[in-house]
Amino acid sequence: MRDVIVVGGGPVGILLACLLAERGVDVEVLERRTEPSMLARAIGIHPPSMRVLGQAGVAEEVLARAVRIEAGSVQSGGRTLGRLSFTQMTGRFPFVVALPQHETEAVLRARFEKLRPDGLRSGVGVGMLHDRGHHVDLIAEPALETADDASERGGDNGLEIVGSARYVVIADGARGQLRDAVGIASRPLGGGDTYLMADYPDTGEHGTEAVLFFERGGVVESFPLPNGRRRWVAMTPTLMPDASLADLTALVHGRTGVQLPTCDAVPSSFSVRQRLAATMVQGRVLLAGDAAHEISPIGGQGMNLGWLDAVALAPALTHALAQPIEARVTLAGYDRRRRRSARIAARQAGFNMAMGRPARGLRLRLRNVVVRVLATPPLNSLLTRAFTMRWL
């Protein structure tokens, strides 16, 4: 019987496990994958998240691997509409950190292994949770097997129990099925926009600056990465799952005039969904990260929002374990605060997407005026604060 079992060994689940282990909680992580995903996914780590990584003891390792983005600019039609500098921010981390998600996960996993050797069980899929009132049983995903096989395994009516804990946290991501399996509903918060992205060799033209190209045909975004790479993301009219690198290169050139270098990268297409769970606490089952709130990746809020869930949930769970009579109120506070933050993040993501949609004529001119106004004092300090998630 564990204190806490986290279902999902991605960046949110592992960070939460690290924070709990630091507090002396008996925590275990179950991960369906046997190998970490190497797909191009989240790269941006905002200042509040860097403080959280500091609590977990990995901030310096992340900084050693990453690129520091100290400024960002917005361009349109070959002109710079505005520029933001993050170096004027107060605090230890006056910049945005760029590091591929698989490297961030590797750092967190190494830290968790030090804190809780063998605390991560890979290759374990969880298909259902049974809340018994005083603990939760975790039931394995159904496999193709005979009735005799199932009866030999025993367990709960022939089902295999892969773990039991006083509390279970579902952190299996936006595509995980466990939230729906336990009956927690979710509602859409907008979305539908589509994008294409790939990581190219960095020509050095923009240094360590992030650049947004607000063009007539739709936004193009560019962010520096470690090891001489740069990510390019372009809004597309429809989802383009079969697009080639040449397609993305041509799209970027057609909108911005930038000629990207040749490389062997494989582009990724994605469609934005935004959803929010009806609750993040149901009995002894809790949600964190994308399992609770799916936010557009435009603006780099998703993973960071999940990490802020983790830093709020770790002390709440620790208190709930130590003071069972106060658990309901403590965890209700977590639910209320984090869903409020998710709604704010979704609205900001919606604004980001709307600003990047195709625009011509009067709408294009008005959008450029709005960008110029937002990039001048005193509004630029508020925009910087919002962009770096300091309001959460």
Does 149 have pLDDT greater than 90?
A: no
User: Residue 109 corresponds to which amino acid?
Assistant: R
pLDDT at 288: 98
DSSP letter at 364 equals H
**Which residues face 98 on adjacent strands?**
44, 67
* Strand ranges inside the chain, DSSP E: 2-7, 27-31, 44-45, 67-69, 71-76, 79-85, 96-98, 120-122, 126-131, 136-140, 161-170, 186-201, 210-215, 218-225, 229-236, 268-277, 281-282, 285-287, 293-294
51 class by beta-carbon count within 10 Å (0-12 exposed, 13-18 middle, 19+ buried): middle
Does 155 have pLDDT greater than 60?
A: no
- pLDDT per residue as tens digits for the range 12-27: 999 999 999 999 999 9
pLDDT at 61: 97
When pLDDT is cut at 50, 70 and 90, the band that residue 374 belongs to is confident
When pLDDT is cut at 50, 70 and 90, the band that residue 147 belongs to is very low
Average pLDDT score over residue span 145-166 = 64
pLDDT at 20: 98
Q: What does the buried/exposed string (b/e) look like for 226-262 if buried means 16 or more CB atoms within 10 Å of the residue's CB?
A: eeebbbbbbbbeeebeebebebbbebbeebbebebee
Of the given ranges (33-42, 49-58, 199-208, 233-242), which has the lowest mean pLDDT? Answer: 33-42
Helix (H, G, I), strand (E, B) or coil at 27: strand
pLDDT at 35: 85
Q: Which of 53, 125, 47, 121 is nearest to 89 (CA)?
A: 47
Does 156 have pLDDT greater than 60?
A: no
Alpha-carbon distance of 127 to 243, in angstroms, equals 34
As given in the structure block, the two tokens for residue 224 are 């520096």
Give residue for tokens 């299996």. Answer: 172
Average pLDDT score over residue span 138-167 = 69
pLDDT at 157: 56
- pLDDT per residue as tens digits for the range 202-248: 999 999 999 999 999 999 999 999 999 999 999 999 999 999 999 99
Alpha-carbon distance of 146 to 46, in angstroms, equals 49
pLDDT at 143: 63
When pLDDT is cut at 50, 70 and 90, the band that residue 152 belongs to is very low
Greatest alpha-carbon span in the chain: 72
DSSP string, 265-330: ---EEEEEEEEEES-SEETTEEE-GGGTEE--TTTT-HHHHHHHHHHHHHHHHHHHHH-GGGHHHH
Helix (H, G, I), strand (E, B) or coil at 387: helix
DSSP string, 155-199: SBTTBPEEEEEEEEEE---TT-SHHHHTT--EEEEEEEEEEEEEE
Task: Answer for the pair 43, 82: CB distance below 8 angstroms, yes or no.
Answer: no
- Flag whether the pTM goes above 0.85: yes
Helix (H, G, I), strand (E, B) or coil at 344: helix
Q: Which residues are CB-contacts of 203 (< 8 A; sequence separation ≥ 6)?
A: 230, 261
Give residue for tokens 């240094």. Answer: 207
User: Residue 142 corresponds to which amino acid?
Assistant: P
Q: What proportion of the chain, given as a percentage, has pLDDT over 70?
A: 94
Q: What proportion of the chain, given as a percentage, has pLDDT over 90?
A: 75
Alpha-carbon distance of 238 to 218, in angstroms, equals 12
- pLDDT per residue as tens digits for the range 291-342: 999 988 877 788 999 999 999 999 999 999 999 999 999 999 999 999 999 9
Average pLDDT taken over every residue of the chain: 90
Does 145 have pLDDT greater than 60?
A: no
Alpha-carbon distance of 50 to 237, in angstroms, equals 35
What is each CA distance from 114 to 7, 24, 161, in whole angstroms? Answer: 19, 13, 27
Alpha-carbon distance of 53 to 69, in angstroms, equals 17
Task: Answer for the pair 41, 382: CB distance below 8 angstroms, yes or no.
Answer: no
**Domains of the chain by range and CATH?**
2-43+100-185+278-354 (3.50.50.60), 191-270+355-387 (3.30.70.2450)
pLDDT at 384: 78
Does 276 have pLDDT greater than 80?
A: yes
Does 370 have pLDDT greater than 60?
A: yes
Q: Give the angle 142-145-166 at the CA atoms, nearest 5°.
A: 30
Q: What does the buried/exposed string (b/e) look like for 143-155 if buried means 16 or more CB atoms within 10 Å of the residue's CB?
A: eeeeeeebeeeee
Alpha-carbon distance of 28 to 306, in angstroms, equals 18
- pLDDT per residue as tens digits for the range 76-130: 999 999 988 888 777 789 999 999 999 999 999 999 999 999 999 999 999 999 9
pLDDT at 151: 45
pLDDT at 153: 47
